[in-house]
Amino acid sequence: MTPWISVATYNERENIEALLAEIHKHLPEGHVIVVDDNSPDGTGELLDALSQRDPWIHVLHRTGKLGYASAHRAGMKQAMEHGADVVLTMDADFSHNPAVLPALVQCINEGADLAIGSRYVPGGGTRNWPWHRQVLSRGSNAMARLLLGLRVHDCTGGFRAYRTSLLQRIRLDQFESDGYSFLEESLLLCALAGARIAETPIVFEERRAGKSKISRKVILEAIVLLFQLAWRRLFCRKALVDKYLITAPLPDQGGAPV
């Protein structure tokens, strides 16, 4: 099984070289596709130098700050074009511990179509988070489970592994999200496609360096899209499936774990 890891960067020069070294340490058979949105701090130039040295590092340069969602969609597409069997997504700021990568891949090996690094299963948690981040995260997860009918503990976690055959059943170019609402949108579509979903515990840490990309605009987008998706799931389900899924969905498991 060939794993590819998609990492989205914008002003992550302080983190990216050390992160790539840790990824390779824990998943040496993996390739990494880094999607950089023309970072003004020189992240892209550093990545070019690193990719010249290490052939498992691949860089996709974009013209500007086009968003978290489109960055990972682009990374997923490029990984699949290169023959990836599983595509993982993770943050560039060490909030996702690379030591968990093998556990996510193992979930896929054991039959899951989607594996989620979860803060809200036994053994998971957060570290160095202020109270308002905890309230926002738990509230977002509760809303996603209720409105989208999901039985997943961590609906907003971005540390994931997708089986390529699952991604091939979804029209990635039809996604409507730009920011972190991509996480709920993609999870709903995976559930509608009949994905077998597994969760493995992680401890999410506050970023080591740089600034958070979460803004009020991103939060508002997530709330609006969540209610739109909930409405379509309840009242326009066939149109939702026809728009996003390439093949007929498997029986709806509602995000049930494998």
pLDDT digits (tens, 9 = 90+) for 180-222: 899 999 999 999 999 999 999 999 987 655 555 566 777 788 8
Q: Which residue from 113, 118, 111 is spatially nearest to 137, judged by alpha carbons? A: 118
CA torsion sign for 233, 237, 241, 247 is positive
Total Cβ atoms within 10 A of residue 100? 21
Q: Which residue has the higher pLDDT, 247 or 7?
A: 7
Residue 215, pLDDT score? 63
Read off the pTM. 0.91
Per-residue tokens: 237: 């389900």
Residue 236: which residues within 8 A CB-CB, separation 6 or more?
none
Query: In this structure, what token pair is assigned to residue 121?
Result: 């299963």
- 109-128 burial code (b ≥16 CB/10 A, e <16): eeebbbbbbbbbbeebebee
The average confidence (pLDDT) of the chain is 91
User: Could you read off the pLDDT of 126-182 as tens digits, one per residue?
Assistant: 998 888 888 989 999 999 999 999 999 999 999 999 999 999 999 999 998 888 899
Condensed to tens digits (0 to 9), the pLDDT of residues 100-135 reads 999 999 999 999 999 999 999 999 999 988 888 889
Confidence tier at 258 by pLDDT (50, 70, 90): very low
In this prediction, residues 224-249 reach a mean pLDDT of 89
Q: Residue type for 130, please?
A: P
Nearest to 97 by CA among 129, 124, 57: 124
Task: Give the pLDDT score at 177.
Answer: 87
Task: Please give the single-letter amino acid code of residue 220.
Answer: L
Hey, what domains does the chain have and what are their CATH numbers? 3-244 (3.90.550.10)
Q: What is the pLDDT of residue 133?
A: 86
CA distance 21 to 189: 33
Closest CA to 8 of 38, 41, 28, 37: 37
To the nearest whole percent, how much of the chain has pLDDT over 90? 79
- Cα–Cα distance, 126 to 133 (Å, whole number): 10
